[in-house]
Amino acid sequence: MSDFEVRPLRADEHRAAADLFRGTLHRPPITDAEWERLNPTRVSSSGLGAFDPDLIGVCRSFGDELTVPGGTRLPLAAVTTVGVRADRTRRGVLSALMAEQFADFARRGLPVALLHASEATIYGRFGYGIATLGRDYTIDRRRARLRPDAPLSGEVSLLAFEEAVPRWPELYAGLDHLRPGMLTRTAASWAISENFHRRFTAPVITAVHHGPRGADGFAVYTVELGETAVLHLTMLYYATPEAFSGLWRHLLSVDLVDRIRTEARSVDEPIDLLLTDPRLVVTERAADESWLRLVDVPTALAAREYPGDPVVIEVTDPVLPANSGRYRISADGAARTGDPAGLRLDAGTLAMAYLGTWRPSTLASAGRIEVRDPAALAAADRLFSTHAPAWCGTFF
Ligand X SMILES: CC(=O)SCCNC(=O)CCNC(=O)[C@H](O)C(C)(C)COP(=O)(O)OP(=O)(O)OC[C@H]1O[C@@H](n2cnc3c(N)ncnc32)[C@H](O)[C@@H]1OP(=O)(O)O
Rounded Cα distance between 71 and 74, Å, is 9
- When the beta carbons of 113 and 144 are compared against ligand X, the nearer one is 113
Closest CB 85 distance from ligand X, rounded Å: 8
Nearest to 151 by CA among 241, 219, 215: 241
User: Is there a binding annotation on residue 118?
Assistant: yes
Rounded Cα distance between 22 and 5, Å, is 21
Q: Is 27 in the site for ligand X (CB under 6 A)?
A: no
Q: Is 256 in the site for ligand X (CB under 6 A)?
A: no
Contacts of 325 (CB under 8 A, 6+ apart): 314, 315, 336
Among 92, 169, 325, 389, contact with ligand X (rule: CB under 6 A): 92
Catalytic residue flag (residue 4): no
Closest CB 119 distance from ligand X, rounded Å: 5
Count of residues that interact with ligand X, criterion CB under 6 A: 23
DSSP state of 100: H
Closest CB 115 distance from ligand X, rounded Å: 4
Among 43, 122, 152, 378, contact with ligand X (rule: CB under 6 A): 122
Closest CB 288 distance from ligand X, rounded Å: 12
User: Is there a binding annotation on residue 134?
Assistant: no
The amino acid at 385: S
Backbone angles phi, psi at 60, to 5 degrees: -130, 165
Among 15, 16, 72, 95, contact with ligand X (rule: CB under 6 A): 95
- When the beta carbons of 63 and 217 are compared against ligand X, the nearer one is 63
Q: Is 87 in the site for ligand X (CB under 6 A)?
A: no
User: Is there a binding annotation on residue 267?
Assistant: no
User: Is there a binding annotation on residue 79?
Assistant: no
* Omega of the bond leading into 53 within 30 degrees of 0 (cis): yes
Q: Is 170 in the site for ligand X (CB under 6 A)?
A: no
Nearest to 141 by CA among 231, 50, 233, 235: 231
Catalytic residue flag (residue 123): yes
HSE on the CB side for 139, CA within 13 Å?
Answer: 29
Rounded Cα distance between 62 and 205, Å, is 27
Q: Is 17 in the site for ligand X (CB under 6 A)?
A: no
Nearest to 296 by CA among 50, 154, 105, 135: 105
User: Is there a binding annotation on residue 90?
Assistant: yes
User: Is there a binding annotation on residue 157?
Assistant: no
Q: Is 130 in the site for ligand X (CB under 6 A)?
A: no
Rounded Cα distance between 274 and 236, Å, is 16
What are the start-end ranges of the H helices in the chain?
14-24, 32-38, 93-107, 161-164, 168-173, 187-198, 241-253, 271-274, 297-303, 347-354, 360-365, 374-383
Q: Is 121 in the site for ligand X (CB under 6 A)?
A: yes
User: Per-residue x/- mask for ligand X, residues 46 to 85, rule CB under 6 A?
Assistant: ---------------------------------xxxxxx-
Residues making up the annotated binding site for acetyl-CoA are 82-84, 90-95, 118-119
Binding site for ligand X (CB under 6 A): 24-25, 79-84, 89-95, 115-119, 121-122, 125
Cite the active site residues: 123, 396
